[in-house]
Chains A and B, each alone.
Chain A
Amino acid sequence: MDYYLGIDIGSVSSDFVLIDDEHNVISKLYLKTQGQPIKAIKDGLRLLRDEMPEEADITGVGSTGSGRDLAGVMVGADIVKNEITAHAVATLEKVSDVSTILEIGGQDSKIIIIRDGIVTDFAMNTVCAAGTGSFLDRQAARLDVPIEQFGEMALRSTTKVRIAGRCAVFAESDMIHKQQMGYEPEDIINGLCEALVRNYLNNVGKGKEILPKVVFQGGVAANVGIKHAFEEALKCDVYVPEHHEVMGAIGAAILAQEEAERKGYTDFRGFDLVDMDFKTKSFDCDGCANQCEVVQIMADKQVVARWGDRCGKWHNALLKRQRRDKDKAMA
């Protein structure tokens, strides 16, 4: 049986999916990255290996997310794709009549506008993380509410509380202010959900024509409070797909299938890579005044990737060597 692996390494979570050649999700994993992507990738693959049916074979791998380059090198990805394209590909596959994708992840949020099955516009948040998952995480911790219960609590709110949503710092001081005035936590949490949605629509969604069918995905889509706030603000149903938290990984897997079929083989290193020793080392290049910090990824003491050099000197030298070695191996 041919399976395709999709890996989405985000700032907060690392997601893995296995799909078959008809794009059915065979298994999925949602792990916390916890600032250690290398460990997360190894852990994920170890778990997947144990779950894989005996006769299964990985015939294509794709990576996406902000850690996509690292993941791509570690596993030997056939395709390394940005998360916007990956999300759009997966959503179009699973919800073919989608017109708007709202995606809120750990550190960024995006909106993707789709018309007649093609992406026609998109936007990502700027440097500010006010409307993202990490902000919610932080506020949940401050209020001592498990993040999983955040949404449920918001739905129990009875009184409207307006929280400033333009900036995470203002929102936090506003919440403290409202809390000291004696509002119930449910109401404050609901106010926060509404503020986040307002901020998202004003910032990321600014000037975009949001038409139904609206799909809401990413880790934050698990939060029913936010989903409800979106429905109120947009005055239409908001649909959360079944595998909403791993849509990026599904997209990467679908793209990997296309690429592997085009190439006729996969670059996947195999599950043995979980026992390999991956390390990141860096050095300052003194070739010019830019003094780029060149990052090297080492696999069992061998350099497998380099980046960070603006001129491409180190990067290209490695590519050249790898190409030569490959030619030698072929001959």
Chain B
Amino acid sequence: MKIGIAKGLLYYIYYPLWRTFFEKLGCEIIVSDDTNKNILDRGIKDFADDACLPLKLFRGHILELASKSDVIFVPRLVSVAKHEYICPKFCGLPEMIKNSIAHLPPIIDETLNMHKNGSMEEMRGFFMSVGRHITNDKSAISEAYSEAVKAQRGYDALLRSGFLPIDLLGDRQDKAFREIKSARDYSQAIGIIGHPYVIYDNYLSMGLIDKVRQAGYGVITPENVADDVIDEEADKLPKHMFYTFGKNIYASAMHMIRSKSVKGVIYMSAFGCGVDAFITELVQRRGRRLDNIPIMILNIDEHTGQAGVDTRVEAFLDMIKWRDQHEGDVPAYR
């Protein structure tokens, strides 16, 4: 059976988990191409106008998969952590996809909701339901799940050690281990924060990560920051933040600034993101209170030309260099 997985939204976070699970059950995985103009154009056409750009793009990826797969995996991700949620648009994602595309292959749209306990049991229950779309052999599903969790843990460990999803997923992996250095190997780093489906999608982000690396800086993202560090920073807020990715973005930015592990922070946000509307403000205000490390917000939308982003990034890096030459201190990143 060919399972279609879209290269969008939480692909960058969970792909090893999903891939291993389906492969162990004997499925062939079809991943959509890297985002390109055609995928974006198709996604935007005739879709809910007020959806955010990454959601529209996701739809484009599903359209790519429609003719190539027997089944498409579009899980309903409600919550992946205790007392937290993922953006509400994810709850309605399967419906948005099903009702906006005609002649779709069947969709696996099981619900993952770990809001109550945030336990692995909830995760297991989700995968048991997903697996039943493929086979009735419960022990095979259970085994595939265990393998998948192992693969995901390995992936997460690499992320925490400084690699980024774009280094590890797709055809860049071998190259990554050979050439692309993790943030630790650079003497200085820039924090790039934002939702994973914005900053790791090279088309949407206009190659932001590569641009910063080419300028000679390592890149640290929320995915490089350990969970306990994130929780510690998030707990400093008067209220519990209940959007998982918003929390990760905010807390990792505070950590980067507090620990002085970055020379600057670039926050890339997609137009129409409700979570970002709050978090960009919070990061700027609280970040400035902590230290005078520069923070730049980059807003992207479907019409944004490359030039605007290039000018800002170039000026930002110029400024970092300028500040650095005058500080004359030893690199802060160790």
Residue B215 at the chain A interface, CB threshold 8 Å? no
Residue A158 at the chain B interface, CB threshold 8 Å? no
Distance in angstroms from B107 CB to nearest chain A CB is 24
Residue B102 at the chain A interface, CB threshold 8 Å? no
Whether B311 and A121, one on each chain, are in contact in the complex, defined by CB atoms closer than 8 angstroms, is no
Assembly CA distance A207 to B316 (angstroms) = 17
Residue B39 at the chain A interface, CB threshold 8 Å? yes
Residue B236 at the chain A interface, CB threshold 8 Å? no
Assembly CA distance A119 to B292 (angstroms) = 12
Assembly CA distance A118 to B296 (angstroms) = 17
Closest residue to B325 on the A side, CB-wise?
A118
Whether A120 and B33, one on each chain, are in contact in the complex, defined by CB atoms closer than 8 angstroms, is no
Whether B322 and A84, one on each chain, are in contact in the complex, defined by CB atoms closer than 8 angstroms, is no
Whether A118 and B315, one on each chain, are in contact in the complex, defined by CB atoms closer than 8 angstroms, is no
Closest residue to B324 on the A side, CB-wise?
A118
Assembly CA distance A83 to B322 (angstroms) = 15
Q: List residues of chain B with CB within 8 A of the CB of A122.
A: 315-316, 319
At the interface with chain B, which of A43-51, A132-140, A237-245, A286-294?
A: A286-294
Residues 185-213 of chain A, each 1 if its beta carbon lies under 8 Å from chain B, else 0 = 00000000000000000000001000000
Residue B235 at the chain A interface, CB threshold 8 Å? no
Whether B38 and A84, one on each chain, are in contact in the complex, defined by CB atoms closer than 8 angstroms, is no
Chosen A-B contacts, 20 in total, with CB atoms closer than 8 Å, are A66-B307, A66-B311, A81-B314, A81-B318, A82-B311, A84-B315, A84-B318, A84-B319, A85-B314, A85-B318, A117-B326, A118-B326, A119-B318, A119-B319, A120-B294, A121-B319, A123-B296, A124-B312, A207-B285, A289-B38
A-contacting residues of B (Cβ < 8 Å)? 33, 36-39, 203, 207, 284-285, 288, 292, 294, 296, 299, 301, 304, 307-308, 310-312, 314-316, 318-319, 322-323, 326
Whether A289 and B39, one on each chain, are in contact in the complex, defined by CB atoms closer than 8 angstroms, is yes
Residues 277-314 of chain A, each 1 if its beta carbon lies under 8 Å from chain B, else 0 = 00000000000111110000000000000000010000
Q: List residues of chain A with CB within 8 A of the CB of B314.
A: 81-82, 85
Residue with the greatest number of chain B CB neighbours at <10 A, chosen from A82, A126, A291:
A82
Residue A327 at the chain B interface, CB threshold 8 Å? no
Whether A290 and B38, one on each chain, are in contact in the complex, defined by CB atoms closer than 8 angstroms, is yes
Which residue from A81, A82, A120, A123 sits with its C-beta under 8 Å from B323?
A: A120
Distance in angstroms from A252 CB to nearest chain B CB is 13
Whether B292 and A120, one on each chain, are in contact in the complex, defined by CB atoms closer than 8 angstroms, is yes
For the complex of A and B, 7 pairs with smallest distance between CB atoms: A84-B315, A289-B38, A289-B36, A290-B36, A85-B318, A82-B314, A82-B315
Question: Given that A66-B307, A126-B299 are known contacts, is A118 also in contact with B322, CB under 8 Å in the complex?
Answer: yes
Assembly CA distance A116 to B37 (angstroms) = 45
Residue with the greatest number of chain A CB neighbours at <10 A, chosen from B207, B316, B318:
B318
Closest residue to A110 on the B side, CB-wise?
B315
Q: List residues of chain A with CB within 8 A of the CB of B299.
A: 126-127
Closest residue to B307 on the A side, CB-wise?
A66
Q: List residues of chain A with CB within 8 A of the CB of B292.
A: 120-121
Number of interface residues of A (CB under 8 A): 24
Residue with the greatest number of chain A CB neighbours at <10 A, chosen from B38, B203, B315, B323:
B315
Q: List residues of chain A with CB within 8 A of the CB of B318.
A: 81-82, 84-85, 119
Which residue from A85, A119, A123, A289 sits with its C-beta under 8 Å from B33?
A: A289
Distance in angstroms from A292 CB to nearest chain B CB is 8
Assembly CA distance A327 to B316 (angstroms) = 34
Assembly CA distance A291 to B36 (angstroms) = 9
Assembly CA distance A290 to B207 (angstroms) = 14
Q: List residues of chain B with CB within 8 A of the CB of A310.
A: 203, 207
Q: List residues of chain B with CB within 8 A of the CB of A288.
A: 36
Whether B312 and A121, one on each chain, are in contact in the complex, defined by CB atoms closer than 8 angstroms, is no
Whether A83 and B294, one on each chain, are in contact in the complex, defined by CB atoms closer than 8 angstroms, is no
Assembly CA distance A123 to B294 (angstroms) = 10
Assembly CA distance A44 to B246 (angstroms) = 50
Assembly CA distance A120 to B318 (angstroms) = 11
Closest residue to A312 on the B side, CB-wise?
B207
Residues 147-184 of chain A, each 1 if its beta carbon lies under 8 Å from chain B, else 0 = 00000000000000000000000000000000000000
Assembly CA distance A200 to B318 (angstroms) = 24
Q: List residues of chain A with CB within 8 A of the CB of B310.
A: 82
Closest residue to B314 on the A side, CB-wise?
A82
Question: Given that A118-B322, A120-B323 are known contacts, is A291 also in contact with B311, CB under 8 Å in the complex?
Answer: no
Closest residue to B312 on the A side, CB-wise?
A124
Assembly CA distance A126 to B299 (angstroms) = 8
Q: List residues of chain A with CB within 8 A of the CB of B326.
A: 116-118
Q: List residues of chain B with CB within 8 A of the CB of A116.
A: 326
Closest residue to A67 on the B side, CB-wise?
B307
Distance in angstroms from B201 CB to nearest chain A CB is 13
Whether A118 and B38, one on each chain, are in contact in the complex, defined by CB atoms closer than 8 angstroms, is no
Closest residue to B64 on the A side, CB-wise?
A289
Whether B284 and A207, one on each chain, are in contact in the complex, defined by CB atoms closer than 8 angstroms, is yes
Q: List residues of chain B with CB within 8 A of the CB of A289.
A: 33, 36-39
Whether A84 and B311, one on each chain, are in contact in the complex, defined by CB atoms closer than 8 angstroms, is yes
Q: List residues of chain A with CB within 8 A of the CB of B323.
A: 118-120
Distance in angstroms from A151 CB to nearest chain B CB is 28
Assembly CA distance A120 to B327 (angstroms) = 12
Closest residue to B202 on the A side, CB-wise?
A310
Assembly CA distance A130 to B319 (angstroms) = 27
Residue with the greatest number of chain A CB neighbours at <10 A, chosen from B37, B207, B319:
B319
Distance in angstroms from B286 CB to nearest chain A CB is 11
Q: List residues of chain A with CB within 8 A of the CB of B37.
A: 289-292
Residue with the greatest number of chain B CB neighbours at <10 A, chosen from A119, A123, A124, A310:
A119
Distance in angstroms from A208 CB to nearest chain B CB is 9
Residues 76-119 of chain A, each 1 if its beta carbon lies under 8 Å from chain B, else 0 = 00000111110000000000000000000000000000001111
Distance in angstroms from B254 CB to nearest chain A CB is 16
Given contacts A66-B307, A83-B311, A85-B319, 7 further A-B contacts (CB under 8 A): A81-B318, A117-B326, A119-B319, A119-B322, A123-B296, A124-B311, A310-B203
